[in-house]
Amino acid sequence: MPTRATPTVRQRRVGAELRKLRIAAGRNTEYAAGLLGLDRTKVSNMEAGVRAISPERIQILANNYECRDQAYIDALISMVESRKRGWWEHYRGQLPQGLLDVAELEWFATRLRSLQTVHIPGLLQLSGYARAVFDSALPPLPTSEVELRVALRTQRQKVLDHDGAVEYVAYVHECALRMQFGGRRNTREQLDHLCEVSERDNVDLRVLPVEVGAFPGAGHAVLYAHGVVPQLDTVQLDSAHGGEFTHADAQLAKYGAHMDWWHERSLDPQRSRDFIRSIARQL
d(CA 166, CA 221) in angstroms, rounded, equals 20
Instruction: Write down the pLDDT at residue 3.
Output: 42
Packed helices 97-108 and 143-156: angle between N→C axes, nearest 10 degrees: 10
Question: For position 161, what pLDDT does the model report?
Answer: 87
Below-70 pLDDT ranges, the chain: 1-5, 82-83, 240-242
| In contact, 156 and 114? CB cutoff 8 Å | no
Task: Read off the pLDDT of residues 261-273 as tens digits, 9 standing for 90 and up.
Answer: 999 999 999 999 9
pLDDT at 240: 63
pLDDT digits (tens, 9 = 90+) for 61-115: 999 999 999 999 999 999 998 667 789 999 999 999 999 999 999 999 999 999 9
Look up the pTM and report it: 0.90
Q: How many CB atoms lie within 10 A of CB 82?
A: 11
